[in-house]
A and B are shown apart, each in its own frame.
Chain A
């Protein structure tokens, strides 16, 4: 594991175009082991695109993605999983006909990045899936599918975890509970990048946020400071609120 002050992921000058649209336009940031970094911004600001590029779903058109000192930009997703980068999806898509347990078995068997880690029963217990472990994924509620998506990613023992709107659809009690789980994961040394619209949740769990707009970083620091920056207020609420 990298020392806490040495970034495990560095993203330099990332550019991603879709036709003439620049979804990412010179994005640069880093995240260290044990840190929870929030990516926030209005819809279309490039948060999910950033996660898609880091997780290998898209190849960057320019720029560098360095994971543990190695350039991994454009590397196939499955290779990144084996190197220790995994993610969750906004809309979870588990193997629907497989049971919860079988979904995890597939992840542990084919995507394992580390040699040790929590047992399957511990993961199921910890993320409240033990009672439904032998039910097919299509029987699960939306929240349970989200937890399965998270546990599937954790089962591969990542060193960098990308969470794409994990909190959407969770009730306040569930939000508090999952916030504690995420903080515990970071305490264990996992680097976590969170994309989220729920600012209360972001404030509760992140050490630092990057505020994005039009594919660029417009602020880096704590959320408490970000909400006082006129440029940040402008992109979230419109020009007249920034004055």
Chain B
């Protein structure tokens, strides 16, 4: 029982990272980015490229993916979102637009890279840090399993969970300790009031969109290690998972996603351990359960009508 719980927490922290970008974008813009999982999939390709083409530790893919997709997010925002916001029903239109965008990303990635499954050996993640690990925890400078409460867990899971905690911490600092974050929270709270207060809502939204996509791509860097392999079709599953994590925590409250991720991760591991043949159903069952029992999410402060 202890093993799936600890593994669930590790996975859960990672799932928080998977969902947090989607929630940030929704919170600020009221736009559901159904292509979120596809940016995650592209992040996995960044890790794959860093490892196979450049021969580097896939962890190097984290800053690269974040920077690359932050910029892509900013560009994409200025091309797509202002037009979307002018529509009568931007939330509904965003579903259609980003669903189409998701299909385009998947199709183009399939054309360029093919449909074959790709993986990266688990031990390669953070291999460059094994010396640091040996200095802190003792033992040899290898990237072997981590011991937690006497149980062994793959180092890649621990690294992914650690980076996720750092990334969520950075999101917290951005939202609560920076000027841009204050403006972001103002826009999330009351868009019209923020405009009337003199806040440049477009600039704030573009930053949030860029950061949201950057976080998705960072989560993607760890996808080959958490799920074993990936293909261009991986994006849809990732979007569904992100959506469940976000709805579990609270739609529109990015930090609620951290709780949603851990709840999802522990449930995922328990089902994998005791009812593995039902594991694929978990996201949908959880989604239906939370919508029936607590539609505002576990940390929801207000119920969304749309």
Chain A contacts to B: CB under 8 angstroms: 55, 57, 76-78, 81-82, 86-87, 89, 93-98, 106-107, 110-113, 152-153, 156
CA distance A121 to B201 in the complex (A): 28
- Contact between B199 and A111 (Cβ–Cβ < 8 Å)? yes
7 contacts between A and B (CB under 8 A): A78-B195, A78-B200, A81-B198, A96-B190, A97-B189, A106-B186, A156-B198
CA distance A96 to B202 in the complex (A): 22
Let me know if B306 is at the binding interface, CB within 8 A: no
In the complex, chain A residues whose CB is within 8 Å of the CB of B192: 89, 93
CA distance A98 to B194 in the complex (A): 13
CA distance A178 to B186 in the complex (A): 28
- Contact between A95 and B198 (Cβ–Cβ < 8 Å)? no
- Contact between A153 and B198 (Cβ–Cβ < 8 Å)? no
Let me know if B223 is at the binding interface, CB within 8 A: no
Q: Which of B183, B195, B198, B202 has the most CB of A within 10 A?
A: B198
In the complex, chain A residues whose CB is within 8 Å of the CB of B190: 93-96
CA distance A153 to B193 in the complex (A): 10
CA distance A152 to B200 in the complex (A): 17
Interface string of B80-95 (1 = CB under 8 A from A): 0000000000000000
Total A-B pairs in contact (CB under 8 Å)? 56
Q: Name B198's contact: one of A82, A89, A94, A98 (CB within 8 Å).
A: A82
Chain B contacts to A: CB under 8 angstroms: 182-183, 186, 189-190, 192-193, 195-202
- Contact between B197 and A110 (Cβ–Cβ < 8 Å)? yes
Q: Given A94-B190, A95-B189, are A110 and B196 also a contact pair (CB < 8 Å)? A: no
In the complex, chain B residues whose CB is within 8 Å of the CB of A95: 186, 189-190, 193
In the complex, chain A residues whose CB is within 8 Å of the CB of B183: 110
- Contact between A156 and B197 (Cβ–Cβ < 8 Å)? yes
In the complex, chain B residues whose CB is within 8 Å of the CB of A153: 196
* Chain A, residue nearest B192 (CB): A93
Q: Given A93-B193, A94-B193, A95-B193, are A107 and B198 also a contact pair (CB < 8 Å)? A: yes
CA distance A111 to B201 in the complex (A): 12
Main SS of chain B's interface residues? helix
Q: Name A77's contact: one of B182, B186, B196 (CB within 8 Å).
A: B196
* Chain B, residue nearest A82 (CB): B198
In the complex, chain A residues whose CB is within 8 Å of the CB of B195: 57, 77-78, 81
CA distance A89 to B196 in the complex (A): 9
Within the complex, the shortest CB–CB distance from B272 to chain A, in Å, comes to 38
CA distance A77 to B201 in the complex (A): 9
In the complex, chain A residues whose CB is within 8 Å of the CB of B182: 106
CA distance A86 to B192 in the complex (A): 12
In the complex, chain B residues whose CB is within 8 Å of the CB of A89: 192, 196
Q: Which of B193, B195, B202 has the most CB of A within 10 A?
A: B193
CA distance A78 to B203 in the complex (A): 11
- Contact between B196 and A152 (Cβ–Cβ < 8 Å)? yes
* Chain A, residue nearest B200 (CB): A78
Question: What are the 3 A-B residue pairs with the smallest beta carbon separation, nearest first?
Answer: A111-B198, A81-B198, A77-B195
Q: Given A93-B190, A106-B186, are A152 and B202 also a contact pair (CB < 8 Å)? A: no
Within the complex, the shortest CB–CB distance from A142 to chain B, in Å, comes to 16
- Contact between A152 and B198 (Cβ–Cβ < 8 Å)? no
* Chain A, residue nearest B301 (CB): A97
CA distance A57 to B193 in the complex (A): 11
- Contact between A76 and B189 (Cβ–Cβ < 8 Å)? no
- Contact between A78 and B198 (Cβ–Cβ < 8 Å)? yes
Within the complex, the shortest CB–CB distance from B291 to chain A, in Å, comes to 24
CA distance A82 to B182 in the complex (A): 19
CA distance A81 to B182 in the complex (A): 19
Within the complex, the shortest CB–CB distance from B85 to chain A, in Å, comes to 12
CA distance A112 to B193 in the complex (A): 15
Contacts A93-B193, A98-B189 supplied; 10 other A-B pairs, CB < 8 Å? A76-B200, A78-B198, A78-B200, A81-B196, A81-B198, A95-B190, A95-B193, A106-B197, A110-B183, A152-B197
In the complex, chain B residues whose CB is within 8 Å of the CB of A111: 196-199
CA distance A98 to B31 in the complex (A): 24
- Contact between B196 and A96 (Cβ–Cβ < 8 Å)? no
* Chain B, residue nearest A95 (CB): B189
* Chain B, residue nearest A111 (CB): B198
- Contact between A78 and B189 (Cβ–Cβ < 8 Å)? no
CA distance A82 to B199 in the complex (A): 9
CA distance A87 to B197 in the complex (A): 9
CA distance A106 to B196 in the complex (A): 11
Within the complex, the shortest CB–CB distance from B23 to chain A, in Å, comes to 17
